[in-house]
Amino acid sequence: MIQRALGSTEISVSEIAFGGVEIGMPYGIGVNSHSDMITQSDAIHLLNTALERGINFYDTARLYGNSEQIIGKAFKEKRKGVVLSTKCTHLRNQDGSIPRGEDLNAVIKKSLEESLQFLQTDYVDVFMLHYGDEEILGIDEVGEIFTSLKQSGIIRATGVSVYTPAETHKAIDAGCWDVIQLPFNLMDQRQSALFSLAQQKGIGIVVRSVLLKGLLSDRGKNLHPALKNVEEHLSKYNQLISGSCNDLPTAATKFALSFKEVSSVLVGIDKMAYLNKSLQAADGNYFNDDTLQISKSLAYPEPDFLNLHQWSVKGWLK
């Protein structure tokens, strides 16, 4: 497994990052309850197999169910060989307000303390703000707290998870975030406009949603009638499938890894088959300029429509 620099953090990470949400809670298309999930022992075996096969980067969060506990059990005796990234609990209160002053400081530090306990470690490599919307990113105090944690040595790098290009731009401009985790895939390519700027600022880019919660796989077939245009568009990606790029998930992963500014691609892994598929895709042979240009031309024309949460609310996903 090839490793890339995580921005200017002096941390090297595998091109594939192990996404830990699926092993901690029901998540993704077709996963509706804990009965659809793998067992804890199988998850630990999967994590250790991933490490043995070269994946050193593991992403989790305080809000990912039992994910931190499982990762902690798997890597307690192997801590130096792994890069752990976790996210603090959401900062907004139930009424939508954002705590300030000592209350804000307490929320962030309590979340980190809990993560350290469950991960069975005394430091975190990357500690992330879990969803930095534009309002939160505009509060200097938030960045100052994360920076102080980095200065104390309890975390090695600061990070923020975002959704929109506007949030990414604001995070870059803030000057306090070492890593930005953002959604980017064949369907929605808007974030790539900011990759170069992030690289210039020494910020590591971690891509998530590379398979769009499984839509860019066999799960993207026989969709709800309301998603007819989406399913028709997905068929256009067949032209990217050839040679070692033998299916859509492989093409989607290779596409993201074709951008030199990307430090790592986060893949949700809860089956050995998914691990094997990710490892096969991250073989160092990515899209050439011509294929990359074709891929860029195949972005979905209405990316704002690609809101899978709303699709689920409307009953379009099963």
Express as a percent the part of the chain with pLDDT over 90.
Answer: 83
pLDDT of residue 30: 65
Q: Any idea which of 29-38, 123-132, 186-195, 230-239 has the lowest mean pLDDT?
A: 29-38
Q: Does residue 287 sit in helix, strand or coil?
A: coil
pLDDT of residue 28: 65
Express as a percent the part of the chain with pLDDT over 70.
Answer: 97
Q: Any idea which of 19-23, 67-71, 83-87, 113-117 has the lowest mean pLDDT?
A: 19-23
Please write the tens of the pLDDT for every residue from 47-78: 999 999 999 999 999 998 899 999 999 999 99
Asked if 167 and 193 touch (Cβ cutoff 8 Å), the reply is: no
Asked if 89 and 96 touch (Cβ cutoff 8 Å), the reply is: no
- Domains present along the chain, CATH in parentheses: 3-313 (3.20.20.100)
**Is the model's pLDDT at 207 over the cut of 90?**
yes
**Is the model's pLDDT at 312 over the cut of 70?**
yes
**Is the model's pLDDT at 31 over the cut of 70?**
no
Q: Does residue 152 sit in helix, strand or coil?
A: helix
pLDDT of residue 129: 96
pLDDT mean over 229-248: 92
Interhelix angle 272-281/248-257, nearest 10 degrees: 50
Residue 32 pLDDT level (bands cut at 50, 70, 90): low
**Is the model's pLDDT at 27 over the cut of 80?**
no
pLDDT mean over 204-215: 93
Report the length, in residues, of the chain.
318
pLDDT of residue 34: 72
pLDDT mean over 290-309: 95
**Is the model's pLDDT at 227 over the cut of 90?**
yes
CA-closest candidate to residue 155, choices 178, 185, 129, 123: 123
pLDDT of residue 13: 98
pLDDT mean over 212-231: 91
Token pair for 259: 């951008």
pLDDT of residue 161: 97
β partners of residue 205 = 180, 262
pLDDT of residue 64: 86
**What is the Cα–Cα distance from 27 to 214, expressed in whole angstroms?**
10
Characterize 99-124 residue by residue with b for buried, 16 or more Cβ atoms within 10 angstroms of its Cβ, and e for exposed. Answer: eeeeebbebbeebbeebbebbbbeeb
pLDDT of residue 192: 98
**What is the Cα–Cα distance from 140 to 228, expressed in whole angstroms?**
44
pLDDT mean over 99-105: 94
pLDDT of residue 166: 97
Q: CA separation (Å) from 37 to 32, 34, 49?
A: 9, 5, 18
Q: What phi and psi, each to the nearest 5 degrees, are found at residue 77?
A: -95, 5
pLDDT of residue 198: 98
Q: Report CA 66 to chain centroid distance, whole Å.
A: 17
Residue 293 pLDDT level (bands cut at 50, 70, 90): very high
Average pLDDT score, the chain: 94
Residue with tokens 């033998």: 246
Query: Exposed, middle or buried: residue 80 (CB in 10 Å: 0-12, 13-18, 19+)?
Result: exposed
**What is the Cα–Cα distance from 74 to 5, expressed in whole angstroms?**
25
**What is the Cα–Cα distance from 247 to 266, expressed in whole angstroms?**
18
